[in-house]
Structure 1
Amino acid sequence: MTYNYFNSFLAIPPSEHDHHHGLLNAAVVLVMYGDYECFQSATVYRLVKAAQQKLKASLGDHNSCFIFRHFPQLQIHPHAQRAAEAVEAAATQNQFWPMHEMLFIHQQELANGFLVEYAHRLGLDIPRFLQDLSEGIYVDRIITDIQSGYRSGIEAAPALFIKGVRYHERWTIEQLIAAIVAAIG
């Protein structure tokens, strides 16, 4: 993983435009840039989710918010862009997070036929889903996420920001929980 230590701060602050779990005014906001075809992105997403679950018991439900932003790496992951578009198409049918989970679970199967199968499993309106994908109406949103990642010093996914500061520690649940607790401080 490559880090740009010259820019370790989130350039574009969290907003209602982002896909988020939790309240944007939570004590700590976690922003992850990820790629659906990237094994490390899936691992980091699961780690963040587990850390939030552990902290929920001690700190309560509303102390953290999780945001996911797209950062497909097309040069090494040929299906990542289309997968990001599929998640956005699902989002218009109120299924962003279920599709997000589905793609990380099945990240070795992201060709177009699989994306349609996942949309079907989630009960999406398939003609609408296919039309949205064929028209490429979500490409600009994904490009906006990518550009915000570059402005924040990201060169590769995954990347995580805790309360606007880039997380550079080891990807262990103990260190991540410690960083979140310190940010709530």
Structure 2
Amino acid sequence: MSHNISAEGTGDRNRLVVPPSERDYRQGGLHARVVLVEYGDYQCPNCGELYTLIKTIQRQPDATFPEGNDLCFVFRQFPQPQIHPQAQKAAAAALAAGAQGQFWQMHEMLFSHQQELGNGYLVEYANNLGLDISQFLQDIFKKVYMDAVNEDIESGLCSGVTAAPALFINGIRYSDHWNIEQLMAAIITASN
């Protein structure tokens, strides 16, 4: 991967070009002291590891952060179908579930079953969440959410994202190791 390519329209490929907004699925408020934005792929093993790290950080007691656990987490779709053939459909499944108020529940299910993302499994997950299955299937097969997925991908590309996972902390690309100590340190630094 070449590091001298600048993202189109920006001089800095380590900054988040499209700030979090109401259109994003998020946990926490947009005005939190620390806003994490992940570009992720449901079939990517590294994204699965990051999913676990973020869940751990979200469960930290309030005392861990100087000003309490004031954290917002935004997940944007960045499927990489060339290496993860089920990723695109999994992204659509998350958004179709989101349309029925179950985005985060489906998000969790997809990351908990990364090796099981075929059509039958997606229907099973939707069923387990009590979704309207015919609506869910219609949304996926009519590619209702392709534009939303492509918008996420485009915003990622503009911010220099070339592969998932990519994480931004308060708009700055996180480039340290994917372990709890270093990620926590970066978050605590950002919260000061």
TM-score, structure 1 normalization: 0.95
Q: Describe the superposition over 1:9-28 as per-residue Cα deviations: whole angstroms up to 9, x where unpaired.
A: 00100001000000000001
Write out the 4+ residue segments of structure 1 that deviate beyond 6 Å after TM superposition: none
Q: CA deviation at 1:52?
A: 2.5
CA contact (8 A) 1:4 1:155 kept: no
Match of 2:14 among 1, 4, 8: 8
Q: Which amino acid aligns with 1:176?
A: L
Q: CA deviation at 1:53?
A: 1.7
Q: CA deviation at 1:57?
A: 4.2
1:43 is matched with which residue? 49
CA contact (8 A) 1:55 1:177 kept: no
CA distance in 1, matches of 2:2, 2:127: 38
CA distance in 2, matches of 1:49, 1:113: 27
Q: CA deviation at 1:46?
A: 1.1
Q: Which amino acid aligns with 2:177?
A: R
2:150 is matched with which residue? 143
Q: Which amino acid aligns with 1:152?
A: S
Runs of 5+ consecutive residues of structure 2 not aligned to the other structure: 5-11
Runs of 5+ consecutive residues of structure 1 not aligned to the other structure: none
**In the alignment, structure 1 residue 28 sits paired with structure 2 residue 34:** yes
Alignment RMSD, CA only? 1.4
**In the alignment, structure 1 residue 152 sits paired with structure 2 residue 159:** yes
Q: Which amino acid aligns with 1:171?
A: W
2:120 is matched with which residue? 113
CA distance in 2, matches of 1:134, 1:42: 25
Q: Which amino acid aligns with 1:10?
A: L
**In the alignment, structure 1 residue 97 sits paired with structure 2 residue 97:** no
Describe the SS at the equivalent of 1:109.
coil
Q: Which amino acid aligns with 2:101?
A: N
**Structure having the larger proportion of residues in helix:** 1
Describe the SS at the equivalent of 2:60.
helix
Q: Percent identity?
A: 55
Q: CA deviation at 1:163?
A: 0.3
CA contact (8 A) 1:73 1:80 kept: yes
Number of residue pairs the alignment of both structures matches: 183
Match of 2:184 among 177, 180, 183: 177
Q: Which amino acid aligns with 1:80?
A: A
- Of the structure 1 ranges 106-115 and 49-58, higher mean CA displacement relative to structure 2 is found in 49-58
TM-score, structure 2 normalization: 0.91
CA contact (8 A) 1:4 1:154 kept: no
CA distance in 2, matches of 1:113, 1:163: 38
CA distance in 2, matches of 1:119, 1:57: 37
CA distance in 2, matches of 1:157, 1:56: 29
CA distance in 2, matches of 1:3, 1:128: 43
CA contact (8 A) 1:32 1:158 kept: yes
